[in-house]
Amino acid sequence: MKNRLKTLEEILNPRRPFRRRRRGWNPRRKRMGVIRKLRPFVTRSNRKRASEVIKLRNKLRLRRHIYGGRFIGTSDLVDPERPILYKQEAQVFFPGTDKRVLWNVQIATARKAFWDEVGDMALKRTAAMLPREKGPFDIRDMFEPVSFNAWGQATSYTMRERNETYEELGGMTRREFEAQLEKKIIASEPPEIYESFSIDRGYEYGIGLHVVVDSEMIDRETVERVIDRFFAVGETDWRAESPVPRDRLPFETEMEALMTIPEEQR
Burial track 148-175 (b if 16+ CB lie within 10 A, e otherwise): eeeeeeeeeeeeeeeeeebeebeebebe
- pLDDT band for 262, please (50, 70, 90 cuts): confident
Residue 86 lies in a domain: yes
Give the pairing type, strands 102-109 and 207-213: parallel
Query: Using an 8 Å Cβ cutoff, are 183 and 253 in contact?
Result: yes
Residue 13: per-residue pLDDT: 57
Are 48 and 174 members of one domain?
no
Most confident of 161-165, 175-179, 196-200: 196-200
Q: What DSSP state is assigned to residue 252? A: S
- Confidence (pLDDT) at 177: 94
Q: List the end-to-end C-alpha distance of the chain, in Å, as a whole number.
A: 80
Residues 46 and 177 placed together within one structural domain of the fold: no
Which residues are 108's β-sheet partners? 89, 212
- Alpha-carbon distance of 193 to 198, in angstroms, equals 14
Q: Cα(102)–Cα(50) distance, rounded to whole angstroms?
A: 9
Q: What SS3 class is residue 165? A: strand
Based on the domain organization, do 72 and 201 belong to the same domain? Answer: yes
Reported as a single tens digit per residue, the pLDDT across 107-166 is 999 999 999 999 999 999 998 988 765 555 565 666 778 777 767 777 777 766 667 888
**220 and 259: one domain?**
yes
| pLDDT tens digits along 70-109 | 999 976 788 888 899 999 999 999 999 999 999 999 999 9
Give just the sign of the alpha carbon dihedral 64, 68, 69, 74: negative
Q: What is the pLDDT of residues 200-259, one digit of tens each?
A: 999 999 999 999 999 999 999 999 999 999 999 999 999 999 999 999 999 999 999 999
Say yes or no: 104 and 221 in one domain.
yes
Residue 67: pLDDT band by 50, 70, 90 thresholds? very high
Buried b vs exposed e over 88-113: b needs ≥16 C-beta within 10 Å? bbbebbbbbeeebbbbbbebbbbbbb
93 and 182 in a single domain? The answer is no
Which pLDDT band holds residue 18 (cuts at 50, 70, 90)? very low
198 and 102 in a common domain = yes
Model pTM? 0.77
Does 26 fall in a domain? Answer: no
Does 175 share its domain with 198? no
For residue 77, the model assigns a pLDDT of 83
Give me the domain span that covers residue 234.
41-113+192-265
Q: Do 204 and 83 fall into the same domain?
A: yes
- Look at residue 16 and tell me if it is in a domain: no
Evaluate whether residue 1 is within a structural domain.
Answer: no
CB 177 within 8 A of CB 169: yes
Burial pattern 21-41, b for ≥16 Cβ within 10 A else e, equals eeeeeeeeeeeeeeeeeeeeb
| Angle of CA points 164, 168, 173, to nearest 5° | 30
* End position of a domain, from candidates 188, 204, 231: 188
Q: Is residue 164 part of a domain?
A: yes
Residues 98 and 217 in one domain: yes
Strand partners of residue 165: 173
Classify residue 126: in a domain, yes or no.
no
Q: How many domains does the chain have?
A: 2
CA-based angle 127:210:117, to the nearest 5?
30
Same domain as 228, residue 254: yes
Longest dimension (CA), the chain: 95
Nearest to 217 by CA among 105, 115, 111, 75: 111
- Last residue of a domain, which of 172, 188, 204? 188
CA proximity to 161, closest of 149, 173, 178: 173
